[in-house]
């Protein structure tokens, strides 16, 4: 995922912004005010691999 904005997303369980169970690279992206009921307001990584480059994360309950 690149040059993207995820704003105000929610999940009742895990991964308010992104739920990843594979391989994901996030670059030049902004994650704002995402919320998960359990874990991973921005990104929840379930047995996967996440690489993050030049991102902005703010306004989330847990970073």
Would you say residue 59 has pLDDT above 80?
A: no
Residue 58: strand pairing partners: 32
**What is the residue extent of each domain of the chain?**
5-48
The pLDDT, as a whole number, for residue 57 is 64
Query: 8-46 pLDDT, tens per residue?
Result: 999 999 999 999 999 999 988 888 889 999 999 989 999
Picking from 53, 45, 44, the residue whose alpha carbon sits closest to that of residue 11 is 44
Give dist(CA 21, CA 27) in Å, integer.
18
Which carries the bigger pLDDT value, residue 18 or residue 63? 18
Give dist(CA 10, CA 57) in Å, integer.
15
The pLDDT, as a whole number, for residue 34 is 92
DSSP class of residue 2? B
pTM for the model: 0.81
Picking from 44, 45, 39, 46, the residue whose alpha carbon sits closest to that of residue 61 is 39
């Amino acid at each position: 995922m690149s040059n993207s904005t995820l704003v105000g997303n929610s999940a009742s369980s895990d991964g308010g912004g992104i739920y990843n169970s594979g391989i994901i690279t996030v670059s030049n992206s902004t994650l704002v005010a995402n919320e998960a009921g359990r874990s991973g307001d921005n990104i929840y990584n379930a047995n996967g691999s996440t690489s993050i480059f030049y991102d902005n994360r703010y306004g989330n309950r847990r970073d």
